[in-house]
Structure 1
Amino acid sequence: MNLPTVALFGAGGKMGARLARNLQRSEYTVRHVEVSEAGRKRLKEELGIECVDVNVALADASAVILAVPDTVIGKIAASIAPQLKPGTMIITLDAAAPFAGHLPDRPDLTYFVTHPCHPSIFNNSSSEEARKDRFGGLAAPQSIVNSLMQGPEEHYAVGEAIAQTIYAPILRSYPMTVEQMALLEPGLSETVCATLLAVMKDGMQEVVRRGVPKEAARDFLLGHMNILAAVIFEEIPGAFSDACNKAIEFGKPRLMREDWLDIFEPAEIADSIKRIT
């Protein structure tokens, strides 16, 4: 596969517009598809991009990026599959729909899944623009995870090159299976991380309710998140005090069920993805 002509579906959406901006800086030929008038207007006004009809976009496309919600990936993929020639690469930006089996039964197509890790909280970039790029894809380096779900092995490099373009600048790129990607999201990033962060905010709101000034509680929590995370994730050398270690020893069973790690069991991951898709 030579440098692909890319059809970008959902080009005017929140994620799609980010991808369109980075693809615009590349040497790829891109056909943009967007169903909403607001999305088409955004692309025209912000990037000078004109969208095209689905048939035009797919006519010479050798790679199709589905920058659309998980809930409609299966429907869109099924609708365009009859127009895709053998060897065409479908790229999804999340493992949920592929894991759930929502892609068409077309062994002659290549399925490539890629997802950003987003810039680390230990983002020590020198520029202010990079430090403020929390999501990634603008100025802050971020790592990505990729899976060649089906297709010739040589297509991995093609998919990875597109992924490195749409999520640039890239720190590291990791190959893995779709099942491993599902462990990372929704398992690790959403079920664990997002939930525990929401719990931390609940805790902050509770101490505010009990009389602590909100600004002080927020500064105190975010500052401790910074240093505690740096030590726990070995970003810096350090050790907790005996008092902190005792608080963790007591706090874990107080806050977490004994069987909480079961959320990573295949059936639990499958149930979570079923709810998402």
Structure 2
Amino acid sequence: MTEHIALFGAGGKMGCRITDRLKDTDRYDVQYVEPSEHRRERLAERGLSATSEEEALDGADIVVLAVPDDLIGSVSEEVVPQMDSGSMVVLLDPAAAYAGELHEREDISYFITHPAHPSIVDASSGLSGDDPDWFGGQGREEQDIVCALHQGPDDDYDRGEAFARDIYAPVRRAHKLTTEQMVILEPALVEMVLGSCLYAIREAYEHAVDMGVPEQAARDFLFGHFRVELGIVFGFTDFPFSDGAQEAIEQTRQDIFVSDWKERVFSEEQLDEVTSDIA
């Protein structure tokens, strides 16, 4: 059975990735909605043309909002009232749903899905190759995804996951979460914590170069230790840090992190504030 898809933001960054996955798939009849003339040119490069909002929504089974987070609320207010009863909205980020920015309508489903991206610890990952699939969903690097049925009948979870597996293919594992759990992962874990730590590492690397270490030596030494220390910290190997290294780590953690950083970063108040700013 062919499902009718209305893809909003089809010419954008995420929209083009989804377009590339769906345009040659017989399982879906896709209508592409893109108001930007510049982004319509991206569709034309793929041999596709944009259609009107009204035409795309007519009979749509699934409506994908591949638009910026801060537009999700306003776009849902415009689009959702025009949808057929029993249809589904697919969101690519949990922020707007968590922040309560979605149009309220009880007879449609809201499904959220997001890629985990190809894992740096997966032996099959080719991130060091000439053309790495950094984001996944290009048919080359297997990845995992997370999914949440924010609103709707339980059966719609399977329907949403099946669609998510197609737009992010090839998918290894699909993790069923709640909207709240997705927010703990992003933005909290991977943006607020991981992103901040990586910027700190980048600054430390640049500081080492400023202190006279040759840049290539600093890069090679740092990136090699990424692999070793990631394996140690996450238990992929039973080879431990030396006693001296462990002591240096514990002392430096006290200099870098305040003692209650986890309680602050993952608090409901902080998550509310951050998701509200995003949405």
Q: Which moved more, 1:234-243 or 1:11-20?
A: 234-243
Q: Give 3-state SS (helix, strand or coil) of 1:57's partner.
A: helix
Aligned residue number for residue 113 of structure 1: 112
Aligned residues: 275
The amino acid of 1:258's aligned partner reads: S
Structure 1 residue runs of 5 or longer lacking an equivalent are none
Q: Distance in 2 between matches of 1:195 and 1:127?
A: 25
Per-residue deviation, 1:74:
0.5
Question: In structure 2, what residue type is equivalent to 1:184?
Answer: L
Is the Cα–Cα contact under 8 Å of residues 61 and 87 in structure 2 kept in the other structure? Answer: yes
Deviation, 1:4, is 2.5
Distance 2:136 2:230 in 1: 20
Is the counterpart of residue 85 in structure 1 residue 84 in structure 2? yes
Moved more, 227-236 or 116-125: 227-236
1:57-97 superposed Cα distances (whole Å, 9 cap, x missing partner): 00010110001100000011101122112111001000001
Q: Which runs of 5+ in 2 are unaligned?
A: none
**Map of 1:174 onto structure 2:** 175
Are the equivalent residues in 2 in contact too, given 1:130–1:140 (CA < 8 A)? Answer: no
| 202 and 253 in structure 1: CA distance in 2 versus 1, 3 angstrom threshold | same
Which letter maps to 2:246? N
Quote the offset at 1:125 in angstroms. Answer: 2.1
Please say if residues 3 and 28 of structure 2, whose CA atoms lie closer than 8 Å, have aligned partners that are also in contact: yes
User: What amino acid maps onto 1:276 in structure 2?
Assistant: I
In 1, distance between residues paired with 2:238 and 2:33?
A: 49
Matched residue SS, 2:146: strand
Map residues 51-66 of structure 1 onto 2, 5 A cutoff: 51-66=50-65
Q: Quote how far apart the aligned CAs of 1:236 are.
A: 3.3
- Please state how far the C-alpha of 1:25 moved relative to its aligned partner: 3.5
Are 2:42 and 1:42 equivalent residues in the alignment? yes
Q: Identify the residue that residue 29 of structure 2 maps to in structure 1.
A: 29
Within 5 Å, which residues of 2 pair with 1:225-264? 225-262=226-263, 263-264=265-266
Q: Secondary structure at the match of 1:235?
A: coil
- Identity percentage of aligned residues: 41
Q: Is the 1:3–1:28 Cα contact (8 Å) retained in structure 2?
A: yes
Matched position secondary structure for 2:85? coil
Cα pair 2:22 2:167 within 8 Å, conserved: yes
Q: 2:126·2:133 contact (CA, 8 Å) conserved in 1?
A: no
For the aligned residue pairs, the C-alpha RMSD in angstroms reads: 1.6
